[in-house]
Structure 1
Amino acid sequence: MPFRRVKFVFKTERIKSPVIYELGHKFEIVTNIRRADIDSENGWVILELEGAVDEIERGLEWVREQGSEVQNLDGDILAG
């Protein structure tokens, strides 16, 4: 099954929202947290997402609609 590495950047108002949990339940996507840095004001998470390509795309669009930034990390040294 295909997978992608991405980075989510959360704004202050979204820090306490269960975005990753909801992503895995609303879409047929397996989430694997690789790294994260979150405090009370902002945060980021590096994830591996596994699922069908179109399902991952739909899920990432939903994350953007929730107010989080999504960065593609495929080929990035941080994704390792």
Structure 2
Amino acid sequence: MAFLRLRLTFPPDLITEPIIHNIGQQYNVITSIRRADVTSDRGWVVLEIKGEPDELERVVEHLKNVKVEVEPIEGDVVQ
């Protein structure tokens, strides 16, 4: 099982959408929110995703398609 750590930045029109929940339902991955800051008009989340490499690629592509900014990060994000 592989994993990715991503910083996701959401545009204002997606703040109230259950995007992370949907990822867990639509793809065979495990999601773990490591950090987040969400307000009524902006939001970002550091998300760890575990699963098979091809499934992780599908998740990243999905996020980009729905206009979520995706940035890979490395290292421990919870200290």
TM-score by length of 1: 0.91
Which consecutive unaligned segments of at least 5 residues does structure 1 have? none
What CA deviation, in whole Å up to 9, does each residue of 1:34-77 have, x standing for no partner? 000000000000011000011001011101111110000024x6
Number of aligned pairs?
78
Distance 1:23 1:49 in 2: 10
Aligned to 1:59: 59
Larger strand proportion of the pair = 2
Q: What do you get for the CA RMSD once the two structures are aligned?
A: 1.1
Residue identity over aligned pairs, in percent, reads 37
Q: Secondary structure at the match of 1:41?
A: coil
Which consecutive unaligned segments of at least 5 residues does structure 2 have? none
Q: Secondary structure at the match of 2:71?
A: strand
TM-score by length of 2: 0.92
Aligned to 1:43: 43
What CA deviation, in whole Å up to 9, does each residue of 1:3-55 have, x standing for no partner? 11001100100000111000111111100000000000000000110000110
Runs of 4+ in 1 over 6 A off after TM superposition: none
Q: Secondary structure at the match of 2:74?
A: coil
